[in-house]
Structure 1
Amino acid sequence: MHRSLPLLRLAVLTSLAGCASLAPVATTATPGAPADSRAALRRLVDSLISAPEFRSMHWGILIVDPGRGETLYSHNADKLFMPASNQKLLTGSTALTQLGPDYRWPTTLWARGAVREGVLEGDLVVRGQGDPTVSAHAHAGDALAPLRALGDSLRARGITRIRGRIVAAASPFTDSPLGFGWSFDDLDAAYSAGVDALYFNEGFSEVVVYGGAKSGDSVRAVTRPATTYPTLIVRARTVARAPAGASAADSLAARPRITVGQDSSHTGVLVAGTIAAGDSVVEEIAFRDQSGAYVAAMREAFRAQGIIVDEAPSDTTARLDSLAGMWSPTLRDIMPLFEKPSQNQIGEILFKSLALAKTGVGTADSAQQVVSRQLLAWGAPPDGFVVRDGSGLSRHDYVSPRTIVTVLDVMRRSPDFRLFYDALPIAGVDGTIRNRMKGTPAEGNLHAKTGTLDKARSLSGYVTTADGRMLLFSALANNYTVPTRRVDQVTDALGAWLAGLRLDR
C-alpha cells in the first residue's frame, strides 16, 4: 500500500538524516493538486542536487511520464555522463532486440584423429562462441556441471580415453579480452576479468587460504570451483592468534593480511602475507587466460567422469569430426544473471556476440557500430552517446540521461518489455538495490539499473506512482567528492518520492 505524501516527505527526510547539508529538503511542501505535485517534485529535486556539498559535481536527471508524453523534471538531460553500469541498459536492450530472447550460444567438441575402441587417437578440440553460463552462479554453485555433461556425451559415444590433449579452437572474438580504457589497477579483480569464446566461472577463481595449526606452520591454499587452475605459489605464513582479551592493536595484527595476485614470473598466482593459526580467508583472482582456464576445468571434469586424458603430442593437421555439443540457456534466462548483479563479463560477451552475429567480426569495434546504429534507429541523438564496451567498465563510455530514457521508453513498448523489466534490480528486493529504499513506496516497485565507477554513480529505470502511472527516470552523477552514499541518498529519496507521487488527483 502506498504511503500518503505527507508521510512520504517524512520518509525522505529520514533517509537523508545524518547528511546535514541536505536538511533544507524539510521545507518542501506536500503536493496537493496535480500542478502542485509537479511543482513540488521540481522543488524537491532542485533542493537535493543544489546542496553545497554537491557544488563541484555534475548531475544529469530526466523524469518522464511516457503515457502523457510529459517531462516532469529535466536537468542537464542532454549532457554526456560516464554511465558506469547503466551502459548495461544499452547493451541488454540491443541484445534482446537484435539477438532475440531465445538466442543461445553453442559449444561443440571435435575429434582431431580417429576414434578406435573407445580411444580418441588425437586431440579433442573444443569450440565456443561465448556461452556465459558455465559458472557456479548459473548452475547452483556447480560450475563444472555443464562440463561433466559434455563428458557424459563423450562416454555415450563410447569414448573413455583421449590420447592427445584438450585444446581450444581459434576464438571468434579476435581482439583483446579486455575492454577499451579499463583500469590497469583492477585487472586482477573478478569484476575486471576479460572474456573469450570459452569462458569459465565468470572469468575468475576463488582462492581459499588456510592458516596452519600454530604460528610458523605452513599455509595451505586451494582454488575453486576448479581445483587444478590456476597454479598457486604460496608464500604466506601463519602467525599466532590474538589471545582472549587482546588489545585492539593485537586483534588487528592477527587478522588475515593475505594478498593474491599474478606472480611476476608469470608461472602462477602468488599467495602472500599472513594469516592467524586456524583461520581461513577467501579471495578472488581473475583469469589472465580465459580459454586456458576453461580447458583446465574441462580436463578436470572429464577425469572425474572417468575419461583419461594422456596429453600426448598428436597430429595437429588431422581432419576434424564432430563429436558432441551443448547449447547455453536462452538470453531470456541470462538477462537476470546479467542485469540484477550487474555482471560485467556477460555484458562484454553480449557486446561481442552482437558483433559476431550481425557483422561476422567478433570485436569490440564492430560491436560499437552495432549498438550505435541501434541507438540511432531508436531516436537517440547522435551526440547523446559514446559506446566503447558492453559493461560500462570503460571510462570512455558516455551517455546522456535523454538517451537512457529513450532506450527505456523503446523497451517499454517492446514485446520483450516484461522480460527486460523483470531482469532489472528491484528496490528493497533483489539485485544491486536489494538494500535500498526499504520501507518506502519504492520497495518492490522501482525497477532500475545501478552503476558505479570511481566518481561515477547512476540509477535509471522505471517506477510506478501511487496513482498507477509508470514513469521513466535517469539520474547520473559524475565527479563528486562526497562519499557515494550521499549520492545514493539523493537518488533513493527521488525514487521514494516518485513512487508516492499522485499525478491524477
Structure 2
Amino acid sequence: MGDTLRVPGRGVRRAVAVVTVLVLAAGIGSAVSLTAPTLVSDLGLTGSPAAPEPVPPVPALGPLAATAPLPTTAGLEAALGEAVADMPGRFTGTVLDPATGAVLWASDAERALVPGSTAKILTAAAALLTLNPTDGFVTRVVAGTQPGTVVLVGGGDPTLTALPEGEDGVYPGPARLTELAQEVQERMPGPIDTVVVDTNRYSGPTSAPGWDPADVGAGFVTPIEPLMLDGGRLDPTLQDTPRTDEPALVAGRAFAELVGADEVETGTAPGQGERLGSVTSAPFSELVEHTMRTSDNVLAEALAREVAVVRGGQPSFAGAAEQTLAALTQAGFDPSGAVLVDGSGLSTDDEVPAQVLGALLAAAATPAESDRDTDFLRPLITGLPVAGGDGTLDDRFGVDAPSASGRGTVRAKTGTLTNVSSLAGLVTDADGRLLVFAFMSNGASPATVRPRLDALAAELGGCGCP
C-alpha cells in the first residue's frame, strides 16, 4: 500500500485557498478605499504625506549556529521515553547529531523491522552513490530488421509520458513520446507499419515477493517493466490512481498510434540497429527528490534496477536489492540487519533497522566542510516532505493535532503498510541544533501509531533536552 491511509484533502485546501484570496482581495479593496483622493479631501487631509523612513531588511532565515548545544541522552530520554514506552506494537528508534555523527539516543535501534516506504532511503542513497546525478533514463527507437518495422527499446524510464508539450503529469520534466515519434518519423525513410516493444533491459518477475496483487488496481504500483508511460497510471495527472497490468504494451500501442503503425508486438532490438531517435528523462538527482517527496513506488523500483545495471548485477528484484546493499557497503555504510526484496518498501518481506536509516540521513545532512565538497547524498534531504506542507506529509501534523508544533519544521520520509508505520527525517530543536531521527513501529494499526510518531518528532523539535 506504500504511504496510504491518506484522507483526501486537496479539495478542502483548494477551497481554503480561494477563501484566503477573497479575504486578501477584500482587505486590499478596503485599503484602497480608505486612501482614495476623495476621502482624503473630505477629511481635510490634503497635505503631502511625509516619505516613510526606509526600514533595513531583517533576515527571516539564516544558517544554524555551529555552537548550538547538543541535547543529552538523559534529556532526550526524559522527553521521548514515556511516549516510546506507550507506543503500540514493536518499536525501534534513534536520534543522531549529523554534524558529528554521534548517536544521541536509541531504543532497540539495531532491531530490524518492516520499514514500509522508508526503505526508499536505502534505494535513493544507493542511486545517488552509483549513478551520475546529471544523467537520466534514456528511451530509444532503432530500425527493425524488416522494412517498415521499428523497435521501441525500454530504458527503464517510468516517467516517459504520452502527454503533449504543455500538459503536465505527476513527474518533473518528463521525456515525451510525442517528441520521440516525431524524431523517428523524420528519420524513417518510409511508412511505419509495425512497432516492436523490447523490454529486455530487465529480467525476472515483474512483481516482488510480499506485494499485494490488489496494489495495481489500487494505484500504488504497476508490473515493473523497463517501458511504461507515467508509471503505468491510467490517469497520468494523479499520483495514486489505478494502473495498467501491461505497461510496456500500453506504451507500445501509444507510440504505434503516433507513428501510424497498425501492429504492435514484443521482441528484441537488433544488435546493430540504426538509432532513429531517443529521449531522456529528468536528471537522476531530481528523480530521487521526487521519489522521496511523493513516495513513488514505481520510480523507486526503476532507480534500484538502474543501480543493478550500472554495477553489473542482475536487473531483477533480487539483483537490485543485492546491489543496493552492496553500493551502501562500498560507500562505507554498515547495512547490517537490512533485508531487501524490492526497492520501494512495498513488500512486507523487507526489514531494516532504525540505525541504518538514521546513519544514511545523518550522512546526507552532514554540513559541508568547504565549498569544494561534493554532497552526493544531499537530495535525500532536499526531497524530504515538509510536515503539513507537501508530499506524503501534506495532510499530517494538523493544526489541532498534538504534533502541530512540528508543522513546517519536521521534514521526514514516511512509511505505511498494514500494521507498519515509520517516520525518518530531521528537525531543528529548540536550541537550534539540527537532529536526525528514525522511528519505526510494527504490529499496530497506522491509524493509531502514525499520529504518535508525528508527535514524537514534534516533541524532538521542541526539546532543548539538556
TM-score computed with the length of structure 2 as normaliser: 0.74
Instruction: Give yes or no for the alignment of 1:499 onto 2:424.
Output: no
Contact 1:356–1:363 (8 Å) recurs in 2: no
Given candidates 311, 315, 323, the residue that maps to 1:370 is 323
Offset of residue 424 of structure 1: 1.2
Q: 1:312 to 1:285 in 2, by over 3 A?
A: closer
Aligned residue in 1 for 2:135? 103
One of 445, 464, 474 as aligned partner of 2:438: 474
Decide whether aligned partners of structure 1 residues 416 and 107 sit closer, same or farther in structure 2, where only a CA change above 3 A counts.
Answer: same
Instruction: Give the C-alpha shift of residue 181 in structure 1.
Output: 2.1
Contact 1:90 1:404 in 2 (8 A): yes
Note if contact 2:140-2:275 (Cα within 8 Å) is conserved in structure 1: yes
1:415-434 correspondence to structure 2 within 5 Å? 415-434=375-394
Change beyond 3 A, Cα 1:403–1:379: farther
User: Which residue of the partner structure matches residue 59 of structure 1?
Assistant: 91
* 1:395 aligned partner: 348
Deviations 1:3-24 (A, max 9, x none): xxxxxxxxxxxxxxxxxxxxxx
1:438 to partner: Cα distance: 4.7
Quick one: distance in 1 between partners of 2:314 and 2:336? 26
416-425 or 121-130: bigger deviation? 416-425
Aligned partner (choices 148, 162, 181) of residue 178 of structure 2:
148
CA contact (8 A) 1:378 1:410 kept: no
Equivalent-residue separation in structure 1 for 2:420 and 2:433 (angstroms): 29
Q: 1:196-216: CA deviations, max 9, x gaps?
A: 11121212314xxxxxxxxxx
CA distance in 1, matches of 2:432, 2:282: 34
Q: Mind listing any 5+ residue stretches in structure 2 that lack a counterpart? A: 1-68, 367-373
Equivalent position to 1:47, from 69, 82, 87: 82
Residue 211 (structure 2) pairs with residue 182 (structure 1): yes
Aligned partners of 1:150 and 1:287: how far apart in 2? 22
2:149 is the counterpart of 1:197: no
Please tell me the residue identity of whatever aligns with 1:415: D
Secondary structure of the 2:397 match is: coil
Please, which of 254, 261, 266 is the counterpart of residue 297 of structure 1? 254
Tell me which amino acid in the other structure corresponds to 1:190.
G
SS of residue paired to 1:467: coil
Q: Which residue of structure 1 lines up, in the alignment, with residue 279 of structure 2? A: 326
Q: Which has the higher strand share?
A: 1
2:397 pairs with one of 408, 421, 437: 437
Matched, 1:311 2:263: yes
Give the letter aligned to residue 140 of structure 1.
D
What amino acid sits opposite 1:126 in the alignment? L
Work out the CA distance in 2 between the residues paired with 1:405 and 1:178: 29
Is the 1:384–1:402 contact (alpha carbons within 8 Å) kept by the matching residues of 2? no
Which of 341, 345, 354 is equivalent to 2:307? Answer: 354
**Separation (CA, whole Å) in 2 of partners of 1:448 and 1:458:** 10
Aligned-partner residue type, residue 289 of structure 1: E
Secondary structure of the residue that 2:135 maps to in structure 1? Answer: coil
**What is the deviation of 1:92?**
0.3
Whole-Å separation in 2 of the counterparts to 1:399 and 1:181: 15
What CA distance in whole angstroms lies between the structure 1 residues aligned with 2:298 and 2:438?
24
Residue correspondence of structure 1 range 75-86 to structure 2 within 5 A = 75-86=107-118
Choose which of 128, 131, 156 in structure 1 pairs with 2:154: 128
Cα gap change, 1:204 to 1:160, in 2 (>3 Å) = farther
Contact 1:87 1:391 (C-alpha < 8 Å) held by counterparts = yes
Question: Is residue 112–residue 316 contact of structure 1 (8 Å, CA) maintained in 2?
Answer: no
- Matched residue, 2:446: 484
Provide closer, same or farther for how the CA distance between residues 487 and 342 of structure 1 changes in structure 2, counting only shifts above 3 A. Answer: same
Q: Deviations over 1:450-492 (max 9, x none)?
A: 0011010100011112322111110000011xx4232122211
Q: Match for 2:126 among 90, 94, 102? A: 94
* Mapped partners of 1:412, 1:142: distance in 2: 27
Distance 1:142 1:49, change over 3 A: closer
Matches of 2:342 and 2:230, distance apart in 1? 21
d(CA) in 2 for partners of 1:339 and 1:324? 31
Letter of the 1:50 counterpart: A
Whether 1:72 aligns to 2:25 is no
User: Per-residue deviation at 1:361?
Assistant: 3.0
The number of aligned residues is 381
- CA distance in 2 between counterparts of 1:421 and 1:69 reads 16
| Paired residues of 1:347 and 1:391 also in contact (CA < 8 A) | yes
CA distance in 2, matches of 1:154, 1:407: 43
In structure 1, the residue corresponding to 2:427 is in which secondary structure? strand
**C-alpha distance in structure 2 between counterparts of 1:460 and 1:84, whole Å:** 11
**Percent identity over paired residues:** 27
1:168 and 1:291 in contact (8 A); partners too: yes
- 2:136/2:281 contact within 8 Å kept: yes
Amino acid at match of 1:373: A
SS at match of 2:422: strand
Distance 1:444 1:190, change over 3 A: same
Q: Is 1:285 matched with 2:242? A: yes
Tell me by how many angstroms 1:503 deviates: 5.3
The farther-off stretch of 140-149 and 403-412 is 140-149
Distance 1:416 1:316 in 2: 35
CA shift digits 1:12-44 (9 cap, x unpaired): xxxxxxxxxxxxxxxxxxxxxx79975453133
When the two chains are superposed, the root-mean-square deviation of aligned CA atoms in Å is: 3.2
Q: Distance in 1 between matches of 2:397 and 2:158?
A: 31
- Find the aligned partners of 1:373 and 1:50 in 2 and give their Cα distance: 35
**Aligned-residue offset at 1:378:** 4.8
Specify the alignment match of 1:218 in structure 2.
none
1:447 and 1:36, CA in 2 relative to 1: closer, same or farther beyond 3 A?
closer
Residues 145 and 94 (structure 1), Cα distance of their counterparts in 2 relative to 1, 3 Å cut: closer
Relative to structure 1, the CA distance from residue 417 to residue 169 in structure 2 (aligned partners, 3 Å threshold; closer, same or farther) is: closer
Task: Give, as a single letter, the amino acid of the residue that structure 2 aligns with 1:198.
Answer: L
TM-aligned CA deviation for residue 86 of structure 1 = 0.5
State TM-score, norm by structure 1.
0.68
Secondary structure of 1:205's aligned partner? coil
For 1:316 and 1:377, locate their aligned partners in 2 and report how far apart those are by CA, in whole Å. Answer: 34
SS in 1 for 2:282: coil
Query: How far apart, CA to CA, are the structure 1 residues paired with 2:179 and 2:252?
Result: 15
Contact 2:79 2:465 in 1 (8 A): no
